[in-house]
Amino acid sequence: MGINFYIVSGMSGAGKSQLLKIFEDLGFICVDNMPLQMMDDFINVCLKNSAKYKNVAVSVDSRAGKSLECFKDIINTLKKNKIFLKIIFLDCSNSVLIRRFSETRRRHPLGSSVSNGIKIERKMLKDVFLAADEVVDTSDTTMGELKKIILKMTGSSEGKKHLIISVMSFGYKYGIPYDVDIVYDVRFLINPNYVSALRAKTGKDKAVKDYISKQKIFGEFFSEFTKLMKMTIPGYIDEGKSYLTIAIGCTGGRHRSVFTTEKLGKFLLDNDYKVNINHRDIDR
């Protein structure tokens, strides 16, 4: 089984960390700033466990210091073992790099002033730059655009296969969940909790499903809701988002939100999205 080995390099502040995250989202084994003296041992591990290490991305940058002198030897080792190798170098204009360091108030990893650090770094990475198969200028590149470049470069499929959507139900009485992207309130629906025969049931039970489905407003709402999802989710993908969480709430998180979450989850699955469904408060 062949190994795909990507070396990620480039200027500090050009987006190497973000690039490794993209590779990670694509299922690659990623290693940031591995000491180059350990690279031969790592390559041997990859060769002995090629099923696990089929797709690998390793960052190599100025933090390696003097060990960058053995960079050409590493390339020769990879080629000798017939490992598919691609070197990606992220470049960026000096003015944009200086602005980014200024905005984040981070010091340049090579110390001194940012402008002087950039000058030293370009010199240190000259051999890596010259060996690069792809040089990507990130001066005006968004995360979404960078992800598209990598998808094309690696031959990975576009779009929805790399977006994981979590749909969850919750009860407002227990608080709105943290770390969600979209929150939708379905308390406008008539509450099954006030029907004694339905109170102990949940939105997964047929009787509750039928009760909510028969409400005219639900059908109209769900039709518009799914249209909204169809329109907006591709935009999240274009912006490079890998995870999207949609939280649907009702009063107690057991009836209306559960039913709507289940129905939305099925709709998304039917449209070939990767979906996780979770009911936070269903057992309360």
Cα–Cα dist 72/131, whole Å: 9
Where do the domains of the chain lie?
Answer: 4-156, 161-279
Q: In the prediction, which pLDDT does 157 show?
A: 61
Helix axes 206-213, 216-238, angle to 10 degrees: 90
Which residues are CB-neighbours of 107 under 8 A, at least 6 positions away? 101, 114
4-156 CATH = 3.40.50.300
> Is residue 1 scored above 60 in pLDDT?
no
CB-based burial of residue 81 (10 Å sphere; 0-12 exposed, 13-18 middle, 19+ buried)? middle
pLDDT band at 108 (very low <50, low <70, confident <90, very high): confident
Average pLDDT in the chain: 91
pLDDT band at 185; cut points 50, 70, 90: very high
Helix (H, G, I), strand (E, B) or coil at 241: coil
Q: Which of 14-28, 105-119, 154-168 has the highest mean pLDDT?
A: 14-28
Q: Which helix (H) or strand (E) holds 278?
A: strand 274-279
What tokens appear for 218 in the block? Answer: 């639900």
- Span 212-242, pLDDT tens digits: 999 999 999 999 999 999 999 988 887 777 7
Average pLDDT over residues 154-182: 85
Cα 234-240-242 angle, rounded to 5 deg: 85
Tokens linked to 139: 């001066």
User: Residue 141: is its pLDDT beyond 90?
Assistant: no
**pLDDT tens digit string along 65-86?**
888 999 999 999 999 999 999 9
Residue 182 burial (C-beta neighbours within 10 Å; 0-12, 13-18, 19+): middle
